[in-house]
Amino acid sequence: MKKQPGWALPNLREAQKRTKKEAIIERSLFQIPVEVRDLGLGKKYYLRTYGCQANERDSETLAGILEELKFEAVETPEEADLILLNTCAIRKNAEDKVLGEIGHLKHLKDKNPDLVFGLCGCMAQEEEIVQIIVEKYRHINLVFGTHNIHRLPELLYEVMSCHKRSIEVLSKEGDVIENLPVRRFGKNKAWVNIIYGCDKFCTYCIVPYTRGKERSRYMEDILDEVRQLKAEGYKEITLLGQNVNAYGKDLKIEGGFARLLEEVAKIGIDRIRFTTSHPWDFSDEMIDIIAKYDNIMPFIHLPVQSGDNQILKIMGRRYTREQYLTLFHKIKDRMPNCAISTDIIVGFPNETEEQFQHTIELVKECQFDNAFTFIYSPREGTPAAAMEDNVSLEVKQRRLQELNDCWNEYAHEKNNAYLGQTVKVLVDGISKKNESILSGYTETNKLVNFKAKDAKPGDIINVKITECRTFSLNGEQV
């Protein structure tokens, strides 16, 4: 690939490095230079987010920066002077969606040569993808990664005022930048980052390469943010990290995530959630704190990935099937009403039918409330991508179907247990399917569509459940 002066391109080997150096906490790194203060005046931006909550939260920062530059948000790419795709690299189909969209929107750039068409997020951190973008998708004129969101004003200036193609992706362990602006998309529910990056290096996963090393925010910074959200009227916060259980280890914060959870709970915001918890370092103290505080929701996302010990070992998950089950039952014994969801990958390289059946047996034992199931997708640069794979796509698809049929049945059964019960629901808004119906989530994270009396978004109300489906509940406000 032809490197232009001023470009920085991603490098997977650099992205993999981990040193013992503590991450730098930057409190004044983000600045808007005088010459770009009005860059967006009279201009409109369209921002689309792919991927996980980390990307959702990053998009709120991107929107915050763009609005400080006086850009105005629009709902469709056709109206925009700036299109920005915040992308996800977790599986090939996630990437294909983005590449399809880039091709699909090319005509807008043909019509309007001044259009700024940008790509950021996890795909921008991938060597192979940026190479394709640079060479084949020439209408993309702005690329930046997850480590330099704060540079957006300068990068935009290069494109808009100097008419350059601007490509800057840093492959590094990462810092913690505390002074970024934010435009929250929700009025009642908010995301709160507590730890960035991931050091687990599960052998199939690209995230440790796209997001850098595990680095925690200081507890006081997090608590200040939560206090402010409460003062602004937010009802629910979700503490975010690729593995929230690792919170504080890098900063040697005593008590780690359990203590953070307790301090957040004491602030008294109505609902606290967290995601994601890696089963490996889920402590007993965490279970105690979740059980102790009513405002910590009885819902845990606990990805298992596989029910087979050999596969778990090759995945580098650091726990056995037995250890997972022990933790699962410990949580359930202590909090019988706690809902538990999971993630599962089928068709990991060379997974045998017997190994797959071990996963099915685990699902039958755990009877998860919800599951996110995926066919393994090789990610360039990860150890698993170099493993030869003897399982055909056909077999993988059949396994995925069998797995889905299995967990769906239990999820439906779990939901059936809600029939006739009255549950607390935080009202989100109007149901997608029927305008006379409102929707919201129970404490256990079940979607409820209900006939309202006087409820409005942001209220926490009682709803009597009248019908149970596999993926949602129906009811009436009482």
Contact track, ligand F3S, 84-123, x by CB under 6 A? ----xxx------------------------------xx-
- The helix or strand, by DSSP H or E, that contains position 340, with its residue range, turns out to be strand 339-346
Q: Which stretch in 166-174, 204-212, 331-339, 350-358 sits in contact with ligand SAH by CB under 6 A?
A: 204-212
Q: Could you say which DSSP state residue 3 is in?
A: P
Phi/psi at 476 (5° precision): -135, 140
Beta carbon of residue 133, minimum distance to ligand SF4 (angstroms, whole number): 23
**Residue 356, interface with ligand SAH (CB under 6 A)?**
no
477 neighbors 452 (Cβ within 8 angstroms):
yes
399 neighbors 355 (Cβ within 8 angstroms):
no
Beta carbon of residue 268, minimum distance to ligand SF4 (angstroms, whole number): 31
**Residue 449, interface with ligand SAH (CB under 6 A)?**
no
Beta carbon of residue 304, minimum distance to ligand F3S (angstroms, whole number): 17
**Residue 176, interface with ligand F3S (CB under 6 A)?**
no
**Residue 205, interface with ligand SAH (CB under 6 A)?**
yes
Cα–Cα distance measured from residue 336 to residue 32, given in angstroms and rounded to the nearest whole number: 51
Smaller CB separation from ligand SAH, 209 or 450: 209
| Residue 201 site contact among ligand SAH, ligand SF4, ligand F3S, none (CB < 5 to 8 Å, cut-off depends on kind) | ligand SF4
Smaller CB separation from ligand SF4, 200 or 396: 200
**Residue 379, interface with ligand SAH (CB under 6 A)?**
yes
Cα–Cα distance measured from residue 203 to residue 310, given in angstroms and rounded to the nearest whole number: 13
DSSP 344-402: EEE--TT--HHHHHHHHHHHHHH--SEEEEEE----TTSGGGGS-----HHHHHHHHHH
Q: Is 178 exposed, middle or buried (0-12, 13-18, 19+ CB in 10 A)?
A: middle
| Residue 208 site contact among ligand SF4, ligand F3S, ligand SAH, none (CB < 5 to 8 Å, cut-off depends on kind) | ligand SF4
Which amino acid, one-letter code, is at 187?
K
**Residue 399, interface with ligand SAH (CB under 6 A)?**
no
467 strand-pairing partners: 474
Strands 195-196 and 215-216: antiparallel
Cα–Cα distance measured from residue 393 to residue 344, given in angstroms and rounded to the nearest whole number: 17
Strands 422-430 and 437-442: antiparallel
> What residues between 239 and 298 interact with ligand SAH by CB under 6 A?
242-243, 276, 278
> What residues between 187 and 206 interact with ligand F3S by CB under 6 A?
206
**Residue 210, interface with ligand F3S (CB under 6 A)?**
yes
Chain position carrying tokens 């931006």: 45
246 token code pair? 């690792």
**Residue 54, interface with ligand F3S (CB under 6 A)?**
yes
Smaller CB separation from ligand SF4, 235 or 317: 317
Cα–Cα distance measured from residue 126 to residue 145, given in angstroms and rounded to the nearest whole number: 9
**Residue 404, interface with ligand SAH (CB under 6 A)?**
no
Smaller CB separation from ligand SAH, 82 or 88: 88
> What residues between 120 and 139 interact with ligand F3S by CB under 6 A?
121-122
Phi/psi at 268 (5° precision): 90, 15
> E strands along 35-171, which residues?
44-49, 72-73, 82-87, 116-121, 142-144, 166-168
| Residue 377 site contact among ligand SF4, ligand SAH, ligand F3S, none (CB < 5 to 8 Å, cut-off depends on kind) | ligand SAH
- The helix or strand, by DSSP H or E, that contains position 140, with its residue range, turns out to be none
**Residue 362, interface with ligand SAH (CB under 6 A)?**
no
**Residue 306, interface with ligand SAH (CB under 6 A)?**
no
| Residue 85 site contact among ligand SAH, ligand SF4, ligand F3S, none (CB < 5 to 8 Å, cut-off depends on kind) | none
Number of residues that bind ligand SAH (CB under 6 A): 17
Chain-centroid distance of CA 17 in Å reads 23
**Residue 213, interface with ligand F3S (CB under 6 A)?**
no
Please report, as ranges, the residues that interact with ligand F3S according to CB under 6 A: 51-52, 54-55, 88-90, 121-122, 206-207, 210-211
Please report, as ranges, the residues that interact with ligand SAH according to CB under 6 A: 90-91, 204-205, 207, 242-243, 276, 278, 303, 305, 343, 345, 374, 376-377, 379
